[in-house]
Amino acid sequence: MTQNDSPTAESLLLIDGHSMAYRAYHALPPEKFSTSTGQTTNAVFGFVSMLLTALEAERPTHVLVAFDRGRPAFRLEEHPGYKAGRAKTPPDFHGQVELIETLLEAMRIPVVALEGVEADDVLATYARLGEEAGIEVRIASGDKDSFQLVREGVSVLYPKRGMSDLTRMTPEAVSEKYGVTPAQYRGQAALVGEKADNLPGVPGVGEKTAAKWLNKYGDLEALLAHSEEIGGKAGENLRAHREAVERNYRVNRLLDDVEVPFTVEAARMQGPDADALSALFDQLEFAVLGRRAEALFGVSGNAGAASAQEAPVPARPDAAELVPLLEGIDAEAWVAVATDATYVLGLGAVDRIALAWGERTAVVALSALEPAGATALEEFLAGHTRLVMHDAKPQLKALRVSGLPRAHADWDTELAAYLLEPDRRGYALEEIAQARLGLAAQQEDEDADGLHTRAWTVLQLRPVLAEALEGAHLTGIMTGIEMPVQEVLARMESRGIAVDAARLAELGEEFGAQAEASAQEAYAAIGHEVNLGSPKQLQAVLFDELEMPKTKKTKTGYTTDADALADLFVKTGHPFLQHLLAHRDRIKLRQTVVGLEKTVSDSGRIHTTYLQTAAATGRLSSKDPNLQNIPVRTEAGRRIREVFVPGADSESLMTADYSQIEMRIMAHLSGDPSLIMAFRAGEDLHAYVGGQVFGVATEDVTPEMRSKVKAMSYGLVYGLSAYGLSKQLGIGVDEARGLMDEYFSRFGAVRDYLGAVVEEARERGYTETMDGRRRYLPALTSAQRQVREMAERAALNAPIQGSAADIMKRAMIAVESALEAGGLRSRMLLQVHDEIIVEVAPGEAGQVEEILRREMAGAAELDVPLDVNVGTGASWHAAAH
């Protein structure tokens, strides 16, 4: 690691934010710097790149950035045309400046922006203050006026061509480049003029002539006093333009006595808000800059010197050596465990286990353990109460089928990283370590050396993450929700759910045959074959061949989605459309069935994997296969649910789901009296709301009114617009707006709540669930409307969806433990966001239902009841109610 030569010396880095951002904006092509959401980031990128370069090179102890606000009053008075010649500020520049300010806030670098004062003057003032405090001053500015500030102890970092190439302008460098001293530079600039600021100088006088004169007379005042002595055309021009020169000289003077809002000491570097910063870099899609920032800030943040240490050489104990080794580990010590676990289709295996604790590591080969060693290891992984892993769930599942049935985890660095940054795309150990410890990227392969390094890294990471959790008040969620629910999920995944494989195969055949029949009819309707699965080929048929009216545009053409096809059928009545829709429907069902068939284990069960770190709101997701999107809305789709059945020793499946949990949370969080009353009265919510909105009695609400209101209620939770509602209901925008207005006038507290949630999130930078789970949404301050509004809808939804997720997780933990404590053999198998599916052992249905109702309803204390519906049957479908 490179150290600054004089680590004790203090230095102050002053940055002219506006000039740097403006230069970056023009230096970098916008088309090469934009995010997937369309936000242009060239100025942001260039600025941050410059900033990191300056921080890396200068290692300042103090940093401050100044921005322009409004017009520079005294310069405009002097010269109304000041800067008038400049091209108008481009529209997407301002928004990028806001992004830069947000980034600086996350870096905890103070920003000074004073009304009517130019950034240069602020910097000149801080340069003087820094100098008076005996601190070295560096000024990063793209404005040459700053050269007049250069002196002993004050230098300017001026960007060359690229943004991260900064030239250091010392007194010597200024003299060499311009032939004048920094003190004379102002005079030279006044003589030469500045096109960019619309300040013309003396015609025919450039740097060289100006330097010659200034060196002869000392300074501008002396030069002007002797202007009569200067001969030739240049002398004539000087006398003719004397007033312009004097004006330039007054205008380009930087004020070093501006009233500034805080002292130099307030600019002392304190390290960034790492989570907010990381979320911003993610949003901006600055992967490389993000890593540079992590490397720059990471170590100084919270990791101690130990974090950079290399992993100790591992012990490789045989069975006999393992027993004393494990006995020698302090019961209070955190022990990191890393394995080479593999897990596929309900079958897992582990060959090697690495441990790290204190200053030691060890690697154990399971195959080489005689009974004594295996027993000791099993005891240790069961009994030690401070075990930490990274992504423990798959490893625990594999360990438990590899002779270590009681292996467990007390802490998980991946879950901690998720709670701190739930919007992150991935949580690979290497990435998290780099972000939190400033460790260099390591190679991925897990040879014998890699595994102990993984354990070592996890051990170093845990206290750093624990401190960050504490700081964000997330420790309670970590230990009270995520860790216990991880254990529950591991068990559910290992159990799997039984399927009737024969029925599954039959269904696949049936749907396949129907799909094929529809395809043939579709071909017949247009007289030729076409790949019905290709939107591109369909577009050719529909819009070119059949010349149907164009549908809504997509990135690559016109949509052929089901809504659009149904619409086209209404317009054209062409039979091709009907057969195409039927084919789509059946092929999708067949896909689902075939996909499920492939995942059935030898024991006839399907083992999904729940992802605990995939959804930014706190929800779970399910993959391989996804059992959270099994069809339910159509009759044919529900037949797939008939295939999920109780296993051999069970009598039924039981499902329990929360009734309208998100609307209940909305009622609770908003405190809306009408909504709360409706839930307390046990009313049919949508009928009740419909009555209010349409001004009729609840009993007189028609099914049509009810369905409109239902769509609106749910849409609201997601930030639905009047336009969206009108499209969904097939009504006019005005009618939709009228409905919404009426809704909000009846449930005013809901509107107030939704508005307040977004504003609070904008101020704090994150949303919170009832339990304090956070979601950072830096895009809330985006200048780009589309980006900002997307973040606003996410901010509306995250506390509600996330609170529901927290409640469900608490319920699952309670149900699992109640089933166990009751000595029951019934087992929880699946979770589908607001629903739990349990496999019921013979004779236990009554007790299981009681547990489900009690634990689910009791998982949160709301101002409205948490109703739970329960059903039982010989299949998932039959258990639905």
Partner DNA sequence: CTTAAAGCTA
Partner DNA sequence: ACGTAGCTTTAAGT
Position 721 contacts DNA (CB under 7 A): yes
Q: How many CB atoms lie within 10 A of CB 727?
A: 14
Q: Is the dihedral of CA 315, 319, 325, 330 positive or negative?
A: positive
Position 810 contacts DNA (CB under 7 A): no
| Contacts (CB under 7 A) with DNA, residues 500-529 | none
The 10 Å CB-count burial string (b at 16+, else e) for 449-481 is ebbbbbbbbbbbbbbbbbebbeebebbebbeeb
Which ranges of 718-782 does DSSP label H, i.e. alpha helix?
A: 722-729, 733-746, 748-764
Q: Which stretch binds DNA (CB under 7 A): 130-138, 350-358, 560-568, 869-877?
A: 560-568
| Distance from C-alpha of 136 to C-alpha of 83, rounded to nearest angstrom | 32
CB of 662 to DNA, least distance (A): 8
E strands present in 143-182: 154-159, 166-169
| Distance from C-alpha of 578 to C-alpha of 532, rounded to nearest angstrom | 13
Position 626 contacts DNA (CB under 7 A): yes
Position 871 contacts DNA (CB under 7 A): no
Q: Out of 268, 788, 793, 825, which residue is the one contacting DNA (CB under 7 A)?
A: 793
633-672 mask for DNA (x: CB under 7 A)? xx--x-----------------------------------
Q: Which is nearer to DNA, 176 or 561 (CB)?
A: 561
The number of CA neighbours under 13 Å toward the Cβ of 148 is 22
Position 625 contacts DNA (CB under 7 A): yes
CB of 881 to DNA, least distance (A): 12
Q: Out of 34, 714, 731, 867, which residue is the one contacting DNA (CB under 7 A)?
A: 714
Q: Closest Cα to residue 240, out of 230, 251, 249?
A: 230
Cβ atoms of residues 857 and 834 within 8 Å? no
Q: Which is nearer to DNA, 408 or 590 (CB)?
A: 590
CA 770 to each of CA 68, 643, 762, 767, 860: distance values in angstroms, whole numbers, following the listed order: 40, 37, 18, 10, 10
CB of 862 to DNA, least distance (A): 17
Q: Out of 225, 382, 440, 632, which residue is the one contacting DNA (CB under 7 A)?
A: 632
Q: Which is nearer to DNA, 108 or 638 (CB)?
A: 638
CA 494 to each of CA 395, 396, 609, 743: distance values in angstroms, whole numbers, following the listed order: 12, 10, 9, 46
Q: Which stretch binds DNA (CB under 7 A): 114-122, 141-149, 386-394, 608-616?
A: 608-616
Instruction: Return the bridge partners of 831, or none.
Output: 836
Q: Which stretch binds DNA (CB under 7 A): 139-147, 235-243, 692-700, 708-716?
A: 708-716
Strand ranges across the sheet with 154-159: 111-115, 62-69, 11-16, 136-140, 154-159, 166-169
CB of 768 to DNA, least distance (A): 15
| Distance from C-alpha of 831 to C-alpha of 773, rounded to nearest angstrom | 20
Q: Out of 476, 595, 842, 843, which residue is the one contacting DNA (CB under 7 A)?
A: 595
728-747 mask for DNA (x: CB under 7 A)? x-------------------
Q: Closest Cα to residue 546, out of 520, 519, 521, 565?
A: 565
Q: Out of 414, 835, 844, 855, which residue is the one contacting DNA (CB under 7 A)?
A: 835
| Pair of tokens at residue 28 | 């970098």
Provide the 8-state DSSP code for 500: -
Residue with tokens 């000149």: 124
Q: Out of 49, 148, 181, 801, which residue is the one contacting DNA (CB under 7 A)?
A: 801
Position 628 contacts DNA (CB under 7 A): yes
| Pair of tokens at residue 724 | 């969206």
CB of 511 to DNA, least distance (A): 11
CB of 38 to DNA, least distance (A): 9
Write the DSSP string, 27-43: HS-GGGSB-TT--B-HH
Position 797 contacts DNA (CB under 7 A): yes
Cβ atoms of residues 267 and 110 within 8 Å? yes
| Distance from C-alpha of 462 to C-alpha of 471, rounded to nearest angstrom | 14
Q: Which is nearer to DNA, 478 or 791 (CB)?
A: 791
| Pair of tokens at residue 377 | 């290891």
Task: With CB under 7 A as the rule, give the number of residues binding DNA.
Answer: 65
CB of 853 to DNA, least distance (A): 18
Q: Which stretch binds DNA (CB under 7 A): 207-215, 331-339, 491-499, 581-589?
A: 581-589
Provide the 8-state DSSP code for 180: S
Q: Closest Cα to residue 831, out of 659, 661, 656?
A: 656
The 10 Å CB-count burial string (b at 16+, else e) for 240-279 is ebeebbebbbebbbbebebebeeebeebbbeebbbbbbbb
Residue with tokens 């979770």: 831
Position 869 contacts DNA (CB under 7 A): no
527-556 mask for DNA (x: CB under 7 A)? ----x-xxxxx----------------xxx
Position 718 contacts DNA (CB under 7 A): yes
| Distance from C-alpha of 508 to C-alpha of 612, rounded to nearest angstrom | 31
Q: Out of 235, 631, 738, 822, which residue is the one contacting DNA (CB under 7 A)?
A: 631
Position 707 contacts DNA (CB under 7 A): no
| Contacts (CB under 7 A) with DNA, residues 246-265 | none
Position 591 contacts DNA (CB under 7 A): yes
Q: Closest Cα to residue 413, out of 430, 397, 425, 399?
A: 430
768-787 mask for DNA (x: CB under 7 A)? ------------------x-
Amino acid letter, residue 367: S
Q: Which stretch binds DNA (CB under 7 A): 22-30, 56-64, 326-334, 711-719?
A: 711-719
CB of 650 to DNA, least distance (A): 22
Q: Which stretch binds DNA (CB under 7 A): 105-113, 168-176, 443-451, 624-632?
A: 624-632
Q: Which is nearer to DNA, 466 or 837 (CB)?
A: 837
Q: Closest Cα to residue 182, out of 144, 135, 132, 133?
A: 144
Position 615 contacts DNA (CB under 7 A): yes
Helices 733-746 and 722-729 pack at an angle, to 10 degrees, of 110
Burial grade of 206 (CB within 10 A; 0-12, 13-18, 19 or more): middle
CB of 446 to DNA, least distance (A): 20
Q: Which is nearer to DNA, 175 or 621 (CB)?
A: 621
Q: How many CB atoms lie within 10 A of CB 540?
A: 14
Q: Which stretch binds DNA (CB under 7 A): 319-327, 377-385, 498-506, 791-799?
A: 791-799
| Pair of tokens at residue 368 | 């080489």
Q: Out of 99, 169, 630, 665, which residue is the one contacting DNA (CB under 7 A)?
A: 630
Using DSSP, state whether 828 is helix, strand or coil.
strand
Q: Which is nearer to DNA, 269 or 722 (CB)?
A: 722
Q: Which is nearer to DNA, 531 or 745 (CB)?
A: 531
The β-bridge relationship of strands 766-768 and 774-776 is antiparallel
Q: Which stretch binds DNA (CB under 7 A): 2-10, 134-142, 473-481, 832-840?
A: 832-840
Q: Which is nearer to DNA, 484 or 535 (CB)?
A: 535
Q: Which is nearer to DNA, 248 or 608 (CB)?
A: 608
Q: Which is nearer to DNA, 363 or 807 (CB)?
A: 807
Q: Which is nearer to DNA, 375 or 537 (CB)?
A: 537
Q: Which is nearer to DNA, 28 or 589 (CB)?
A: 589
CA 446 to each of CA 449, 453, 563, 595: distance values in angstroms, whole numbers, following the listed order: 7, 9, 49, 31
Contact footprint for DNA (CB under 7 A): 531, 533-537, 554-557, 559-563, 565, 584-585, 588, 591, 595, 598, 611, 614-617, 619, 621-626, 628-634, 637, 711, 714-715, 717-721, 723-724, 727-728, 786, 790, 793-794, 797-798, 801, 832-835
